[in-house]
Amino acid sequence: MPNIKSAKKRVLVAKVNNERNKAYRSALRTAIKKADAAIDAKAPDAGETVKAAVKKIDQAAVKGIIHKNNAARKKSQLTNKLNKA
């Protein structure tokens, strides 16, 4: 545990940010899995679930949870899978 006051604060802030990022990442993975499942099941609302997943991916990229190229790759994979289905 750090002795300096600012270092103590950084530890606390880092912990809070880590928990927040973990929640964003979890929601992102859930949205992607739902979109994949909807595409595989050929659900009529697959387009809407993919749209929601793309929105989550964009939000994660803006917040710095994932890299912008990673976001672009995930969006591309989802839309390609949707178009082939």
Question: Roughly how many angstroms between the first and final C-alpha of the chain, as a whole number?
Answer: 53
**Which residues make Cβ contacts (< 8 Å) with residue 68, sequence separation at least 6?**
61
- pLDDT confidence of residue 58: 97
Q: What is the pLDDT of residue 85?
A: 86
For residue 78, what are its two tokens?
């989802």
| pLDDT (0 to 100) of residue 56 | 97
Please tell me the predicted confidence (pLDDT) of residue 57: 98
Tell me the pLDDT of the chain (85 aa) as tens digits. Answer: 899 999 999 999 999 999 999 999 999 999 999 999 999 999 999 999 999 999 999 999 999 999 999 999 999 999 999 999 8
Alpha-carbon distance of 82 to 40, in angstroms, equals 9
Q: Which amino acid is at 75?
A: K
